[in-house]
Structure 1
């Protein structure tokens, strides 16, 4: 069973990354604006990164000019949220360098947490853990309880994933005990409380301590229903189905797992498929293989390993060995070796780092902080009240942001769904003076005719199409071909080719459910792209949504029809 370490920080970054985008002005013209103005402008143009970068840079410039260290740190944090991995890491390093010599409740711990998150998201668990441990030392030093909670959840989650159940249970029990000691925690700290319940129930499940798991899962289901937290309810429902599997109640397990299946995605969905496959293993091995193929498809797309993959690939290998399917045997034994190596290396690294760096300093520092907390209870309660208010405001804002984003994406999806792109060619711009590009009318008409044939016969789906090659196929040169496309279609050759491929892909995905089952990498190859990154970028640039979202919404419609 898989558990991804909880990231309250990730939600925090998502909110922050939307607090600074803006409009079509230069950063110089914004220097007389307040920080609040920049935030408000960002919220208005939150989806346009080309515009948002102007406001981020204006924020940085203003904070630098006013020598406002912590506003500058926040500006760096905001900018990191709209950059790719390398840029985000660079800005998290800038945050650390800027604030490490200052006394502040949130910095430099937040800089280390930010860098740790980006490394984790990039697959470097060992480096992420080191950075979170450094952040934890600062969180203890600054008595920042909220940061301590987030970091403990991260470390406990990693331990749970890789089988260190006793150590994870110790952390999660301490977390829950601490939260339950706070006044009115079910209201003021409800999000932290429900996450702690879920962490603890998953750790109990992984350790097969079923009675304790059952108690915590029931508490989580009841509390998530009471607070109308649909996301956490589906998580606890998945845990409930897993618990019933371990209790050999296969009928009840299937019922719970089937109910939760349309409510979850990614690794949680892989986990759901895994246990459904396990239920059928001794009853209908073909159904097991069908479910395990779904697990493999999700892992191939996410490349995020979890323990159950070992059993998944071992079962698949044994099945295809009996079938005598050598290609499938080779495929799944390669997958098994890769996953086993990844999991073993990560477990080894985490063991070493946690034992040598985390446990002893944590216990010593926490004892001292508890004494300080008791002696300064009044001051502590004031800080907690402020933090709780901030967290409630934070999650309200996050909910609003995600709702708006989903609404926008859904609108774009419906527009694509209702638009027929099969007959929609890349538009031709008529110009009265074709000779303005210094090419004869005869050559221009010949190239346009061959472009029509190129589109009608769908030759744009072929791999390796470049301007020079296509020019040779048209018996012309690349300069003429480029000029004709630019002049008569109003776009570059690259945008012309990508537009044809994306239009074709959209229409195929609408009707071809088998294509929707492919990985993004496989789909990109089918429509002529050489890699998934360039395909996803072209898809988003043309439609405003990611291909994964488009496919997910199509599958929802198919299930409901």
Structure 2
């Protein structure tokens, strides 16, 4: 923290002493502290647009000094951009270690802030640093990371940067097949700025041809890229890239004079515009070319300048620092991922344990339910079998009654004859009727003899068997006595002595028989409800009817009807 404060103070003093100040810009220490990160970022962007790189870098650095763990993800986006932009300034000034450090810092902030769509920019810049140090394999891996990450956001401008770098790094690695593949992918991109695409189409195509040992074609396209750059882009760094590759192409075909010419052009342009990496590369090429031509003095002069410049920018110790920073970053990232995976594994194990408990409870519940259902099914099956047996018995009883009825019809003439005799033998005295359903003792004073009883019984059976009078709601003992030309006392006596039941039980038996017939008669009564059939045989109360029906048959009317309809 102390080092940060000292660094910030030095930077502010530098800004105060060296940056241009006008009436509109207040760059005092107090005013800078009052600026919000957004205001600082806007000022940094303005300085950068005005080519005041040092001032822009200072403001980006002040923004980064305010970063802490309490920053929201939305605020983190500004800090990630500041780190990247400050890194780019370091990169173009030749401070590759500083640039790498800032890119890594930006990557950490972007990851923490979930600013994934910006991460391809940081991966591209990290790849550029490794490519500068000619570690093309790692550089390529960063470009490929950027390409894969950008697929979900489909930003064609970012894709163009990535694919262009991949074409070049594949050429440097002599992988022309992949270079061609990436070059073709560029042609399908829809870009807003077509100027750079036109340049890099020529440059990349020339590079591919040279790598594929088609030097003449390669030189042709590389020269076209130089002309296009001078006419439309006017960027010394871009032009130097083409010039240095033309020189290499001429060296490949042993045209040393042409190679020397283009290396000199690159050297002069890079020296004039302080393009340091191109200056170093051109000095190395000039030293080699002069040596091959036998001009040792010029070769040594170029080599001396090359070593001086190279040590200031590309010394091996700095490159090792970069690799160490990258290793530490990857290690930290891996450790964080391992910690996260361990935490997820613990959560998953706990969740699995809870799920196992739930599954065990569910399985136990299902087992109990299954056992209950099996028992219920067996009981239901037994009950169904019992109901079916009762239904069959009722059906057999009905058939027996039908047979009995047919036999009874044959003796109908005899019944009529007996009825006539009954009238002749009827006692003249007026017997006072008294309704009662007690046992046989009350009939001891009755004047009916056995023959009269038999005749009266036949008449009663005729009414009950051959007519449907009992189906009337108002059917009673008196009504039956009237139908058989007798009195209620004698009728009750005959029923009690013959069937050992009172009149109500006697009439219920006939009514239930008729209900069974109608329930079995699906052709005529299938559309009737149970209640309607009960009312049709003389029952007023449906609930009372159900109880009586079950008492006589053993099953409910609805169950009987269901079986009859099968």
TM-score, structure 2 normalization: 0.48
Which entry has the higher C-alpha Rg, 1 or 2? 2
TM-score, scaled relative to structure 1: 0.49
